Amino acid sequence: MLRKLVLSSPVLLVLTLSLVVSVEADSTMWSQTYGGTKHDEAHSLVVTSDGGYALSGNTLSFGAGSSDFWLVKTDEFGNMEWNQTYGYSDWEWCASLVATSDGGYALAGLTQSVDSGDALLVKTDSFGNMEWNRTYGGTGWQEARGLVETFDGGYALVGSTDSLGAGQSDWWLVKTDAFGNVEWNQTFGGTRNDYVYSMVQTSDGGYALAGLMNSSDLISNPGGDFWLVKTDGAGNMEWNKTYGETGDEIAMSLVETSDGGYALAGEKGNDIWLIKTDAVGNMEWNQTYSGTGYALIETSDGGYAIAGTIHSSSTGSDCWFVKTDAYGNMEWNKTYEGPQTDKAWSIVQTSDGGYAIAGETDLPSTVPSDFWLIKTDEYGIVPEYSSWLLPTLLLTATLVIVIYKKKLLKPRSQVC
């Protein structure tokens, strides 16, 4: 009898580990971090044609300047395949990434290496090798916040400028050809500081832009309001709407919805504010949720997913994920908590019905933050976090994390 007990113990251990391995190897749920010894943060995320992911943001750990654009390509499990940096001698900050129709990538943001501040557009091939780059700006400050590849194969960038327009800072929409040469540009704004954060090319070939209206000559409410601007294909304004009350409201993300309307998400005081409009910007409904919302998508079931951050008394802030139905009613929410400050800046829905979220995390081993890529199932669940976030779970979860901890590849840098 004693002999049987001795033999059964290691068999049971092997079976337990095998079961956990099969879950952790599943591409539907995992997380990965990427970075060096300084501050690195991911702002934008796309699913690639091979089922992997591409993340872009800025890095202080690698590259030529104080801060550079950083593009990281992974496989479907988040393992880094390659990475590239793009920058000059000073400060570059990457806000937006798109996967282009030729299999490459385009990145947009800010450079302070040329003037006091210009918008920067970088085009790469499928391996991140830079094909060309362009800067756009006047004598003052310009930056790009949003980027799309347009229906004609060119690009549209949206950001802020204090060199052009009517006010201290205005919205700026720039349309280029396939090589980044400017075809036209338009500004929108009042007499004060107005900032744009998101843009889509609409189904009619025009553009919709969302951000902050802060000009008192255009709004009656004190503080700032959500501002939604719709243009034609040449950037001429067709209509605009503001949404707000007595406090500050800032629209951070915008989607054109499947019914031809729009959904905007952003900040309303200390809460997330989600607004749904019809095709001409008339509000249909709105909802508020705890936290701050930076990224919004319409989901395959007709609802919405919002990623951002929520305050934590123990860690400062955590990644925050809110899922709603088609009317903005919350279905569920998830937090992804590291030991320190964590933020989610971008979200996509994946082909398996789950989600991928990109942002930044301050882990104890990083100084002070890394790119963070999280892959969840359709309910936002990531079992890999169990021993990190919920220490009371079984020891097997802790063992899996130790055994399957990924080794970060040392990035290869390229400077434009």
**Mean pLDDT of all residues belonging to the chain:** 85
Percent of the chain with pLDDT over 70: 81
The two three-digit tokens of residue 224, written as one number? 């700032």
In DSSP terms, 266 is beta-bridged to 251, 273
- pLDDT greater than 70 at residue 67: yes
17 vs 416, more confident: 416
pLDDT tens string 143-179: 999 999 999 999 999 999 987 766 688 999 999 999 9
28 contacts 332 by C-beta, under 8 angstroms: no
83-103: pLDDT as tens digits: 999 998 889 999 999 999 999
pLDDT band at 365 (very low <50, low <70, confident <90, very high): low
The Cα angle at residue 263 between residues 259 and 269, in degrees rounded to 5? 160
Please state the φ and ψ torsions of residue 332, each to the nearest 5 degrees. Answer: -165, 170
- Helix 395-403 / helix 2-24 crossing angle, nearest 10 deg: 60
pLDDT digits (tens, 9 = 90+) for 192-243: 789 999 999 999 999 999 999 986 555 656 568 999 999 999 999 999 999 9
Domain covering 26-403 assigned CATH 3.40.1010.20 in the classification = no
Give the separation between CA 236 and CA 88, rounded to whole angstroms: 34
DSSP for 126-181 reads TTS-EEEEEEE--SSBEEEEEEEE-TTS-EEEEEEESSSSSSSBEEEEEEE-TTS-
Q: Given pLDDT bands bounded at 50, 70 and 90, which one contains residue 138? A: confident
Tokens of 116: 């006091």
Residue 333: CA atoms inside 13 Å, Cβ hemisphere, count?
19
Of 382, 379, 402, which Cα lies nearest the Cα of 333? Answer: 379
Burial class (CB in 10 A: 0-12, 13-18, 19+), 410: exposed
**Tokens 């996967």 belong to residue:** 99
**What are the extents of the domains in the chain?**
26-403
Q: Residues 300-357: pLDDT tens digits? A: 999 999 999 998 767 678 999 999 999 999 999 999 987 778 999 999 999 999 999 9
Residue 169's alpha-carbon distances to 130, 184, 251, 330, in angstroms, are 31, 19, 16, 35
